């Protein structure tokens, strides 16, 4: 379990550096408002799920 948290942190750091926020926002606007809303909800649920798993 001690290895899990640093591995999770490294994955999150890798994702933040590999995904450009400008590209993501531009793609969301091209796809439409509902796609953006669904994407935001999914990301929030994913973060909520990860935080819940880490606290156990």
SS3 32: coil
Structure confidence at residue 7 as a pLDDT band (50, 70, 90): confident
| 17 part of a folded domain | no
Question: What is the spatial distance between Cα 46 and Cα 42, in angstroms, rounded to a whole number?
Answer: 6
If one counts the domains in the chain, the total is 1
Pinpoint the alpha helices (H) of the chain.
Answer: 4-18, 21-31, 33-55
Note whether residue 37 is domain-resident.
Answer: yes
Task: For residue 38, tell me if it sits in a domain.
Answer: yes
Q: Is residue 50, in this structure, part of any structural domain at all?
A: yes
Query: Which structural domain, as residue segments, surrounds residue 44?
Result: 32-56
Instruction: Classify residue 55: in a domain, yes or no.
Output: yes
pLDDT above 80 for 6: no
15 domain-assigned: no
Q: What is the per-residue pLDDT across 8-56, written as a single tens digit (0 to 9) for each?
A: 777 777 777 776 667 767 776 777 878 778 888 999 999 999 988 888 7
Predicted confidence at residue 45, as pLDDT, reads 94
Under 8 Å between Cβ of 39 and 28:
yes
d(CA 38, CA 25) in angstroms, rounded, equals 13
């Amino acid at each position: 379990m001690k290895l899990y948290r640093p591995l999770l942190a490294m994955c999150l750091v890798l994702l933040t550096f590999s995904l450009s926020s400008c590209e993501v926002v531009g793609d969301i606007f091209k796809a439409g408002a509902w796609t953006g809303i669904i994407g935001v909800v999914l990301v929030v649920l994913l973060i909520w799920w990860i935080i819940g798993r880490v606290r156990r």
